[in-house]
Amino acid sequence: MGFSCVFVLVISCCLVVFGSSSGGGNFHQDFDVTWGDHRAKIFNGGQLLSLSLDKVSGSGFQSKKEYLFGRIDMQLKLVAGNSAGTVTAYYLSSLGGSHDEIDFEFLGNLSGDPYILHTNVFTQGKGNREQQFYLWFDPTKNFHTYSIIWKPQHIIFLVDNIPIRVFKNGESIGVPFPKNQPMRIYSSLWNADDWATRGGLVKTDWTKAPFTAYYRNFNVVPCTSCWSSKSSSSSFSDGALQTNNDELDASGRRRLRWVQKYFMIYNYCTDSKRFPQGIPSECRQRSRF
pLDDT over 90, % of the chain: 73
CB atoms within 10 A of CB 61: 21
pLDDT over 70, % of the chain: 83
pLDDT tier, 286 (very low <50, low <70, confident <90, very high otherwise): low
Q: What is the mean pLDDT of residues 78-107?
A: 95
CB 201 within 8 A of CB 193: no
pTM above 0.75, yes or no: yes
- Strand ranges (E), 138-224: 144-150, 154-159, 162-168, 184-191, 211-222
pLDDT tier, 129 (very low <50, low <70, confident <90, very high otherwise): very high
Question: How high is the pLDDT of residue 196?
Answer: 73
114: which DSSP letter? Answer: P
Question: How high is the pLDDT of residue 195?
Answer: 74
Stretch among 8-12, 39-43, 182-186, 227-231 having the lowest mean pLDDT: 8-12
- Share the mean pLDDT of the chain: 85
Residue 234 reports pLDDT greater than 50: no
Question: How high is the pLDDT of residue 50?
Answer: 98
Q: For residue 235, what are the CA distances in angstroms to 22, 69, 252? A: 20, 17, 9
> Cα–Cα distance between 129 and 87 in angstroms, integer?
18
CB 139 within 8 A of CB 268: no
CB 115 within 8 A of CB 108: yes
Count of positions (residues) in the chain: 289
3-state secondary structure of 165: strand
> Cα–Cα distance between 31 and 235 in angstroms, integer?
32
197: which DSSP letter? Answer: T
Catalytic residue set: 101, 105
Question: How high is the pLDDT of residue 280?
Answer: 93
Residue 145 reports pLDDT greater than 70: yes
pLDDT tier, 70 (very low <50, low <70, confident <90, very high otherwise): very high
Question: How high is the pLDDT of residue 21?
Answer: 38
pLDDT in tens, 15-49: 333 333 344 689 999 999 999 999 999 999 999 99
Question: How high is the pLDDT of residue 13?
Answer: 29
Question: How high is the pLDDT of residue 107?
Answer: 95
Q: What is the mean pLDDT of residues 205-223?
A: 95
- DSSP assignment of 214-271 equals EEEEEEEEE-GGGG-SS---EEESTT---TTEEEE-HHHHHHHHHHHHHTEEEEGGG-
More confident residue, 40 or 201: 40
Q: What is the mean pLDDT of residues 269-283?
A: 93
CB 51 within 8 A of CB 213: yes
Residue 14 reports pLDDT greater than 50: no
